[in-house]
Structure 1
Amino acid sequence: MTRPISLAALTVLELTPPDMVSCAADAGFSHVGIRLIPATPTEPQYDLVGDTPLLREVARRLADTGVQVLDVEIFRLKPETDVAAYEPAIACAARLGARGLLVAANDPDEARVTDRFAAFCDLAATYRLTADLEFMPWTDARDLPQAARIVERADRPNGGVLVDPFHLSRSRSRVADIATIPPSRLHVMQFCDVPAVLPPDMDAILAEARAERLFPGEGGLDLVAMLRLMPPDVPLSVEVPTHTLARSVGAVERARRALAGTRAVLAQLG
């Protein structure tokens, strides 16, 4: 089976969602990630939820190019979150043929966020989608062990943990922690590289996360060791924002470099 490799939205966030699909196709990706819901208030806002002209254009580009949607993001679980309110966006994800939904925990009450994650998984399951909790050191699923605990306590068949080399490093989780996660909980892996040395504080980590990562193989992380602990052929979502490079290099070329780096790392698996 050919491993799906997806172009994550953050890699080419200057593009509109339809143009992200075209970029993924032009760069050689089999899949693409779609941000139906912006991750931050400063990101571009697109009218994608519902039977909108923009969503129909995304669907048209997918049909024309043959690119498929790997995942849709990002669904935040906050203290005030009404999980049922996410159903229109989840329905759109299903309409686009997505495999899974990416979830973030933004609630310090772990018991409550666990219950909400379980409810979210149940709703996602009605659309035959997985729900993958992304741990990030600035959220309330800070590291891999905590995310794994939330997912296991939620105890839903379609619930998973999203491993990202960036967050694994910057949360001070260990590569060996991946081996503690049941393979059935590992539906997708984000992929990027960064220097091995951690930034001095959380503000610097956030800036690096959103704007200045490295293409796979160009940093100091042991990506091969991480891959060896993941299920064989796990889909990879290549998330490499490079804002400085973007001032002089277009989106398609950056996406091609990201894909080439990913393939070079995969070749090291033998």
Structure 2
Amino acid sequence: MTRALTVAHLTAIDLPPPQFIEAAGEAGFDGVGLRLIKVTEDSPGYPLMDDPALLKQTQAALAATGLKVPDIEFLKITPETDVATLEPLLDAGAALGAQTLITAPYDEDLDRLADRLAAIAELAAPRGIRPVLEFFPWTVVPDLAACWQVVQQAGPQVGLLADSLHVDRSRSDLALLKAIPTGRMPFAHLCDATVQGSYTTEELLFTARAERLAPGTGQIDLLAFLRALPPEIPLGLEVPMAALTKAEGPEAVLRHIAKATRALLARV
């Protein structure tokens, strides 16, 4: 099985884009997802749309390593989201060669959420970018079924992003995951974690943002998850490991994740 392996910026979020790209290349990844918008107060974002010098350095790192940037993140769609203001973000994504913009559902009006996704898709299309909606158990779109419903309502240019952690935590149906048309899932996120019977919101957030496990080293049934995906769908490794990063550094974390993932894929 041949799959492109990229790594999401959250995995080594303290590394600015050029250094992150270099470290990912040394670890053997094919590309990186870059976080251009800050998500939480204690986690950085790198607004390349506002920093031409850093954008040029990032492009130079991509050219030197041969890595790609398939996706940029992370747009929270809220009731206040003004789609017209996203042009600089999308322009930066286009300059990096990105093909997808990851969005998150933070608007309780799901009809309006779908309309916003459609408008973003229309704005992004001339730049070769499409939005994908990711679901999270602590949001108004908590599982795969709810996400698929919004995405279908938003129209054919909007995609869906399934993360193995959120699929597991939401107990989403893998049969539905397998049934979703390949063209609606440009890639998937992969990680592992311990599993328990139920989770508080605080536990969900802590694992998602700070302490996941390398694929194949936890208790999520990743073989079932992978078998429900299209055979050669690209995988983005989103595996923040705060304790290991503090102990050994982000470069060691990237190497650890890459090695574990390839060992897992050899078993599929």
TM-score in terms of structure 2 length: 0.96
Q: Which runs of 4+ in 1 moved over 3 A?
A: none
Report the count of equivalent residues: 268
State the alpha-carbon separation in 2 of the partners of residues 34 and 198 from structure 1: 33
3-state SS of 1:195 partner: coil
Question: What residue number does 2:182 align with?
Answer: 183
The match for 2:258 is 259
**Equivalent pair of 1:170/1:198 in contact (CA under 8 Å):** no
State the alpha-carbon separation in 2 of the partners of residues 190 and 63 from structure 1.
25
**Structure 1 CA distance for aligned equivalents of residues 48 and 231 of structure 2:** 33
| Corresponding residue of 1:194 | 193
* Amino acid across the alignment from 2:17: P
RMSD (Å), alpha carbons: 1.5
Q: Within 5 Å, give how 1:23-38 maps onto structure 2.
A: 23-38=23-38
**Contact conserved, 1:147 with 1:161, CA < 8 A, in 2?**
yes
CA contact (8 A) 2:37 2:47 kept: no
1:59 has 2:59 as partner: yes
User: Any idea what the Cα deviations from partners look like across 1:38-89, whole Å, max 9, x if unmatched?
Assistant: 1223222434114611111111100111111121001121101111111110
Alignment of 1:2-151 (within 5 A): 2-50=2-50, 52-151=52-151
Paired amino acid for 2:205? L
Amino acid at match of 1:162: L
Gaps of 5+ in 1: none
What SS class does the counterpart of residue 131 from structure 1 fall into?
Answer: strand
Aligned sequence identity (%): 41
Using the size of structure 1 for normalisation, the TM-score is 0.95
Following superposition, the deviation at residue 136 of structure 1 comes to: 0.6
Q: CA deviation at 1:231?
A: 1.3
Mapped to 2, the partners of 1:83 and 1:180 lie a distance apart of: 31
3-state SS of the aligned residue for 1:247?
A: helix
CA–CA separation in structure 2 for the residues paired with 1:215 and 1:183 = 25
- The Cα shift of 1:36 comes to 0.8
Q: How does 1:235-250 map to 2 (within 5 A)?
A: 235-250=234-249
Distance between the aligned counterparts of 2:80 and 2:195, measured in 1? 37
Q: Which amino acid aligns with 2:182?
A: P
Residue 41 to residue 179, structure 1, CA distance change in 2 (3 Å): same
